[in-house]
A and B are shown apart, each in its own frame.
Chain A
Amino acid sequence: MISVERVSVTYPGQSHPAVHDVDLEIPEGELCLVVGPTGSGKSTLLRTISGLVPHFSGGTLAGRVVVAGRDTRTHRPRDLADAVGVVLQDPARGFVTETVTDELVYAMEQLGLPRAVMRTRTEEVLDLLGLADLRDAPLRDLSGGEQQRVAIGAVLTAHPQVLVLDEPTSALDPPAADDVLAALTRLVHDQGMTVVLAEHRLERVVQYADLVVAVAADGTVSHGAAGDVLGPGSAAPPLVELAAVAGWRPVPLSVRDARRRVAPLRDRLTAARTREVLPGPGRAVLTARGIQVRHRRAHAVRGVDLTLAAASVTAVMGRNGAGKSSLLWALSGAGPRSAGSVTLGPEPGQDPAALDAAAARRLVALVPQDPTDLLYLGSVGAECRAGDTQAAVAAGTCAQLLERFAGPVPAQAHPRDLSEGQRLALVLAVQLAADPLVLLLDEPTRGLDYAAKRALVAVLAQHTARGGAVLLSSHDVEFVAQCADRVVVMSDGVTVTDGPARDVLVASPTFAPQVAKVLHPVPLLTVAEVREALAAAR
């Protein structure tokens, strides 16, 4: 269905090709997963299949790409619209119209299909993706998962044979991601659609993939069955790593497969497990009582009590719209708070909202969901210098922190040209320059690859090692399992669960990490913990 023959892509002004000498054959009706670190050329490979590279973004394409019998040399993306459906990374940014139905028919209108056909196909797609109740809903009122399904539906109505998706679940909470993935597998199984998707969070999708294409940082590509391509290393889901520790061959790709084989490992772990000594609660650095946040229409937070201890990481989890962001903003003092109190430090306790902005940021730092909101200058160097001045610290502090967090980043680069990981590191450097007591992070792992997440875990560890407290909101259960001491689950603006990370994560069906699901009832969360426990048993 898709044949990529000796393809290399070089963007103008760059000396190295973004993808290099790719040979790939994707048969009809397969789900192909494209993996690789950020900046490795995953998106380039996907855009090659849809013809966006090079027709839309420029550059040189060597080799040949044939999709559904059409050569991308002679067919522009618009000429492939009825053969290849493309869903770009952030669905909301690709919406042209205002309501669900208008968006679904948009592609068909451009193709000039008769009205009767449009009506039939719209109904089909509404049913297929479970959107029938939302047909007249305004797009901007939809949740992330619904928007993603509308974006998929909007290309399906053109009846493409190939569907290409760039990180379709990266911004979604676990249940919404499951909905989207269920819809995709239904397309592959029932309709024989060929699906190509790029994804960072492999643990969610690898079990559905027939073929895995790994793009390396240098642009070279290898492909094969999931178990063969994904080795333990930089970009492997926890299951693959666990398989390496346990010596399972072939590698199980779903929790179900792994549980069939887990018994011996579980016995060894049960025997090895020593009683864990829970550290006593640390000194409180932030105490919040009865926090309420009302926005114009919604009552986002309805009375939350929270205490952050020094040298600890607390994670807030919950569905999209559970009030997590509003809570973080209220705690930072920069966002609205309609009731309740926030006090910093043990005694005599200051309220960040009562302080002026410059004083508040020295005590509480918040990194918002879109960290780029904080950046307004034209280069990394200028941002760092401004950060030093604003934090009233020695010149060069921000630049040093940035280097520590992300390695060398060119000072003259435009902040918007950085990778997601580097951009987050820059914002963290700016916000941590003043050495605040409390660090608040709203969805920090969006768009980060495994390496960037590990770097973030290290930054958080450095912060807590100096006695700081961290509160972060996240959908990423594997990340939370790695770094959090305590987990708070929110729903509809109230706290439903609050306890040590291990207890909360192991007990929850939606928030349990893969390792915990496999090893249940042994309460271990990460592969690193398994390794430690095994080493202790020896």
Chain B
Amino acid sequence: MSPRGRAPDRAQWPEPAIQLRSWSTAALALSCAVGLAAFCWPLLVAPGAGLAHATDAPLILGAVLACVLVVVHLALVDGGMDVKAVALLGLLSAVGAALRPLSAGTAGVELVFTVLVLGGRVLGAGFGFALGATTLGVSALLTGGVGPWLPFQMLGAAWVGLGAGLLPRAPRGRLEVAMLAGYGAVAAFAYGTAMNLSFWPFTLGADTALSFVPGAPLGDNLRRLLAFTAATSLGWDLGRAVTTAVGVALVGAPVIALLRRAASRARFVTPEPRHAEHRATRRASGATFE
């Protein structure tokens, strides 16, 4: 059973599951700009803008974000994607989606981010981005979380995966797990805050002391937002951050080992998009002919 046989000791860093190329990197960076604007709209919006009505902005920006997500994914897989990466993306999204209902409702317990952080770390930034978005999308399809917030959630989770893939490569062993646990806590907390920021006017309505006031000075709105966050979701966000960190600390080492084993067995091939597909395939997959 040699194909499933002992995994050879390969280089510590296997090929990333989705290779970032120049155009896809550009699309990814630009999408971050769009996303940033969409998440921070209450702080950026001009007083007279049509978007200032609290309930419409998330819907319209959500639609824009959904389209941007689709386009970025197209750019990521332009020219083809290794079938193993497709299958792995599907299976890991399923793992995330299967964990999500387990944790939904229990005060911020979100195990999804553990999967995203570890997956992004081992399989690369591009894969982490795709994994974050598909995991949240699939779990929304399965458990009923489709709504205007879905594109925001998908983009937020995609960033969590992307960031994990961009962390410094050097740390190994306990240090690596500690770094990932720390990153996971920060990223999960930032995710909650960002979601809060973009949906704060939507959730709270307009007639409380903590509500968003369009066009008010940045500092004022920020203070109201902080108060709102502290009053409502702080516990959840902290809970999510703690669960993610604890999850990474508990299963980090064995799961990283598993993912590395899978990645080195998979030998991802990202076919060159334009020319000489066969040659590239052979070189990257380690397949040679004598």
**Touch between A and B in complex, CB under 8 Å?**
yes
- State the A residues within 8 Å of B (CB): 9, 11-14, 18, 38-39, 41-44, 47, 52-63, 73-74, 76, 78, 376-378, 413-414, 416-417, 419-420
CA A477 to CA B7, docked complex, whole Å: 34
The answer to whether A53 and B3 touch (CB under 8 A), given A12-B8, A58-B267, is yes
Tell me whether A76 and B7 are in contact (CB under 8 A). Answer: no
Across-interface contacts of A60 in B (CB, < 8 A): 287-290
Tell me whether A12 and B10 are in contact (CB under 8 A). Answer: yes
Tell me whether A14 and B1 are in contact (CB under 8 A). Answer: no
Measured CB to CB, the closest approach of chain A to B138, in angstroms, equals 14
Across-interface contacts of A53 in B (CB, < 8 A): 3
25 residue pairs of the A-B complex, CB under 8 angstroms, read A11-B5, A13-B10, A39-B1, A39-B2, A39-B5, A41-B2, A42-B1, A43-B4, A44-B2, A52-B3, A54-B285, A54-B286, A54-B288, A57-B267, A58-B287, A59-B287, A59-B288, A61-B288, A76-B278, A378-B253, A378-B254, A378-B257, A414-B7, A416-B261, A417-B4
CA A483 to CA B282, docked complex, whole Å: 49
CA A43 to CA B9, docked complex, whole Å: 21
Using an 8 Å CB-CB cutoff, how does the interface string of B243-284 with A read, 1 for contact, 0 for none?
000000000011001100100010100000000001001100
Across-interface contacts of A413 in B (CB, < 8 A): 6
The answer to whether A417 and B286 touch (CB under 8 A), given A58-B267, A378-B254, is no
Point out the residue from B83, B261, B267 that lies within 8 Å of A414, measured CB to CB. B261
Across-interface contacts of B2 in A (CB, < 8 A): 9, 11, 18, 39, 41, 43-44
Nearest to A41 among chain B residues (CB) is B2
Tell me whether B3 and A57 are in contact (CB under 8 A). Answer: yes
Measured CB to CB, the closest approach of chain A to B3, in angstroms, equals 5
Tell me whether B281 and A55 are in contact (CB under 8 A). Answer: yes
Measured CB to CB, the closest approach of chain A to B5, in angstroms, equals 7
Tell me whether B289 and A62 are in contact (CB under 8 A). Answer: yes
CA A42 to CA B3, docked complex, whole Å: 10
Across-interface contacts of B4 in A (CB, < 8 A): 43, 417
Tell me whether B286 and A58 are in contact (CB under 8 A). Answer: yes
Across-interface contacts of B281 in A (CB, < 8 A): 55, 76
CA A318 to CA B282, docked complex, whole Å: 48
Across-interface contacts of A59 in B (CB, < 8 A): 286-288
Point out the residue from A11, A57, A62, A378 that lies within 8 Å of B290, measured CB to CB. A62
Across-interface contacts of A43 in B (CB, < 8 A): 1-4
CA A53 to CA B282, docked complex, whole Å: 11
4 extra interchain contacts, Cβ-Cβ under 8 A, other than A59-B288, A61-B288, A74-B278? A58-B287, A62-B290, A376-B254, A377-B254
Across-interface contacts of A74 in B (CB, < 8 A): 278
Across-interface contacts of B290 in A (CB, < 8 A): 60-63
Tell me whether A12 and B286 are in contact (CB under 8 A). Answer: yes
Point out the residue from A13, A14, A18, A54 that lies within 8 Å of B287, measured CB to CB. A54
Across-interface contacts of A57 in B (CB, < 8 A): 3, 265, 267
Measured CB to CB, the closest approach of chain B to A495, in angstroms, equals 37
Tell me whether A417 and B6 are in contact (CB under 8 A). Answer: yes
Across-interface contacts of B9 in A (CB, < 8 A): 13
Most chain A beta carbons < 10 A, residue from B3, B5, B8, B9: B3
Measured CB to CB, the closest approach of chain A to B165, in angstroms, equals 23
Most chain B beta carbons < 10 A, residue from A73, A74, A417: A417
Measured CB to CB, the closest approach of chain B to A45, in angstroms, equals 10
Point out the residue from A58, A61, A377, A419 that lies within 8 Å of B1, measured CB to CB. A419
Measured CB to CB, the closest approach of chain A to B173, in angstroms, equals 13
Measured CB to CB, the closest approach of chain A to B18, in angstroms, equals 18
CA A528 to CA B7, docked complex, whole Å: 39
Across-interface contacts of A61 in B (CB, < 8 A): 287-290
CA A56 to CA B4, docked complex, whole Å: 12
CA A164 to CA B7, docked complex, whole Å: 25
Task: List which B1-60 residues lie within 8 A (CB) of chain A.
Answer: 1-10
Point out the residue from B253, B278, B285, B289 that lies within 8 Å of A58, measured CB to CB. B285
Across-interface contacts of B257 in A (CB, < 8 A): 378, 414
Nearest to B87 among chain A residues (CB) is A96
Nearest to B285 among chain A residues (CB) is A58
Tell me whether B1 and A55 are in contact (CB under 8 A). Answer: no
Tell me whether B8 and A11 are in contact (CB under 8 A). Answer: yes
Measured CB to CB, the closest approach of chain B to A240, in angstroms, equals 24
Using an 8 Å CB-CB cutoff, how does the interface string of B191-210 with A read, 1 for contact, 0 for none?
00000000000000000000
Measured CB to CB, the closest approach of chain B to A156, in angstroms, equals 21
Tell me whether B3 and A44 are in contact (CB under 8 A). Answer: yes
CA A47 to CA B8, docked complex, whole Å: 19
Across-interface contacts of A39 in B (CB, < 8 A): 1-2, 5
Most chain A beta carbons < 10 A, residue from B9, B278, B287: B287
Measured CB to CB, the closest approach of chain B to A457, in angstroms, equals 22
Nearest to B254 among chain A residues (CB) is A378
Across-interface contacts of B261 in A (CB, < 8 A): 414, 416
CA A60 to CA B285, docked complex, whole Å: 11
CA A187 to CA B265, docked complex, whole Å: 35
CA A31 to CA B88, docked complex, whole Å: 34
Tell me whether B6 and A73 are in contact (CB under 8 A). Answer: no
Closest 7 CB pairs of A and B: A13-B8, A54-B287, A58-B286, A62-B290, A18-B2, A58-B267, A60-B288
Nearest to A63 among chain B residues (CB) is B290
Across-interface contacts of A9 in B (CB, < 8 A): 2
Measured CB to CB, the closest approach of chain A to B137, in angstroms, equals 18
CA A109 to CA B2, docked complex, whole Å: 31
